[in-house]
């Protein structure tokens, strides 16, 4: 039955029927945003179209959604430590399963410390596959080109791990960030943009993995804190024209900076930290200003209800395993070269060469479905839910209280905002160090 929400500080009045009551159910609008972010990530990693980073800045959106959920969790009664433990558990269990598979293959390929590398330090760094406080080690190339696994497969498989490291640190620092935001909201909201202008433009160089971690925190920090603002209703306590007016200003600044400082691949925000930070912040500001807070999807979107439910129940799995699925598409497509009619015909062979990205995109989804079914149960265990093979189907509100959502202390919750904990992904390693 459709309910009419009661206006609250976190929800604008007059949003009409179909909105969720404060603190109950899931916000299906935010669930939809997370699903679109995951779809855009797979698109980008398949086709490497830089303009997609402008069309929908997935990483900024995912950090903003995660910040909103984190603020909601910290607002519940109980110690913050329980919230942190629950959020980290939801991150680590899927990571451990992913690392077990990836490291298992690497060790089978006889990956060992490089000559001259300190063995003890190498083994110590492997702990980052267990607790992602730093960048986990991986070989840039292993094996041989032309085999079942391309020599650069490990670099591509490790591509998503930067997000888990950044998310891990955002979660750990969230209690302090939330206190700072509530004491000095605008200073805390804009400070990461200022930090990006320092460390993301070459003004101050921080070398190595530490520099990458600081840049990630700076670039997406404003989006994370914007999630706090959304949860606390700050955007609804300012004049209604403010966000629609100021959001395009930040986006325009990001566009201007990107035009003057393009990356190695041109217009691609993954290589332009300050452009990414400004564009993502303005974009998320507009998305949160719209925020209809649907308890149920509108009728025109109801056909996608099951897909959206699946994507949100398996967001970490989709994010992690889609790279493995993309890696697996290449040897499968290569089998077409064994057809005599293909390699004998210059027309057919040329068509196959030019169709690789399209074929990869078509093939990645059934492969990803298999991987999600095989490994996605780790997300249920991490959330202390009953493991499910394929959590697809229309979202039911009663599921939120029974098993669809769980409190960070392990007790059932009344639901969630849907501002998920995961989400999107970093650029694939065929794209260098892109952060789409």
How far, in Å, CA of 174 to CA of 181, rounded? 10
pLDDT of residue 208: 85
Measured at the CA of 417, the angle between CA 412 and CA 246, to 5 degrees, comes to 160
Q: How confident is the model at residue 394 (pLDDT cuts 50, 70, 90)?
A: low
Q: How confident is the model at residue 395 (pLDDT cuts 50, 70, 90)?
A: low
Residue 118 has pLDDT above 90, yes or no: no
Residue 397 has pLDDT above 70, yes or no: no
What pLDDT digit, counting tens, does each position of 290-312 carry?
Answer: 888 788 999 999 999 999 999 99
What pLDDT digit, counting tens, does each position of 32-65 carry?
Answer: 999 999 999 999 999 999 999 999 999 999 999 9
Report which of residues 236 and 427 the model is more confident about.
236
Residue 14 has pLDDT above 70, yes or no: no
Q: How confident is the model at residue 250 (pLDDT cuts 50, 70, 90)?
A: very high
Cross-strand bridge partners of residue 76? none
Q: Mean pLDDT across the stretch 270-279?
A: 97
Q: How confident is the model at residue 412 (pLDDT cuts 50, 70, 90)?
A: very low
Report which of residues 196 and 27 the model is more confident about.
196
Residue 435 has pLDDT above 60, yes or no: no
């Amino acid at each position: 039955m459709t309910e009419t929400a009661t206006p609250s500080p976190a929800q604008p009045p007059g949003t009409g029927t179909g909105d969720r009551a404060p603190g109950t159910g899931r916000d299906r609008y935010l669930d939809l945003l997370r699903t679109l972010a995951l779809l855009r990530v797979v698109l980008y990693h398949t086709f490497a179209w830089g303009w997609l980073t402008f069309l929908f800045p997935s990483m900024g959106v995912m950090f903003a959604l995660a910040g909103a959920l984190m603020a909601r969790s910290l607002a519940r009664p109980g110690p913050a430590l329980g919230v942190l433990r629950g959020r980290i558990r939801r991150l680590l269990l899927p990571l451990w399963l992913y690392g077990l598979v990836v490291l298992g293959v690497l060790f089978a390929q006889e990956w060992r410390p490089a000559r001259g590398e300190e063995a003890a330090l190498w083994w110590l760094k492997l702990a980052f596959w267990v607790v992602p406080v730093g960048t986990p080690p991986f070989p840039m190339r292993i094996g041989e080109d032309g085999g079942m696994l391309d020599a650069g497969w490990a670099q591509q498989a490790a591509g998503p791990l930067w997000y888990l490291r950044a998310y891990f640190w955002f979660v750990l620092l969230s209690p302090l960030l939330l206190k700072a935001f509530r004491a000095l909201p605008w200073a805390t909201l804009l400070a990461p943009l200022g930090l990006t202008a320092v460390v993301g433009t070459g003004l101050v160089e921080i070398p190595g993995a530490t520099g990458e971690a600081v840049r990630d925190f700076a670039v997406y920090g404003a989006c994370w804190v914007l999630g706090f603002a959304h949860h606390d209703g700050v955007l609804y306590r300012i004049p209604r024209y403010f966000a629609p007016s100021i959001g395009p200003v930040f986006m325009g600044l990001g566009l201007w900076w990107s035009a003057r400082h393009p990356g190695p691949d041109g217009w691609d925000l993954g290589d332009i930290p300050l452009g990414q930070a400004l564009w993502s912040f303005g974009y998320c500001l507009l998305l949160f200003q719209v925020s209809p807070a649907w308890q149920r999807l509108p009728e025109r979107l109801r056909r996608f209800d099951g897909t959206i439910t699946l994507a949100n129940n398996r967001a970490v799995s989709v994010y992690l395993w889609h790279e493995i699925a993309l890696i697996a598409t290449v040897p499968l497509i290569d089998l077409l070269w064994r057809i005599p009619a293909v390699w004998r015909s210059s027309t057919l062979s040329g068509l196959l060469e030019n169709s690789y990205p399209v074929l990869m995109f078509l093939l990645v989804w059934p492969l990803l479905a298999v991987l999600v079914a095989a490994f996605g149960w780790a997300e249920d265990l991490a959330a202390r839910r009953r493991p499910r093979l394929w959590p697809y189907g229309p979202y039911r509100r009663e599921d939120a209280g029974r098993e669809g959502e769980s409190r960070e202390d392990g007790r059932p919750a009344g639901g969630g905002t849907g501002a998920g904990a995961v989400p999107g992904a970093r650029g694939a390693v065929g794209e260098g160090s892109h952060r789409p």
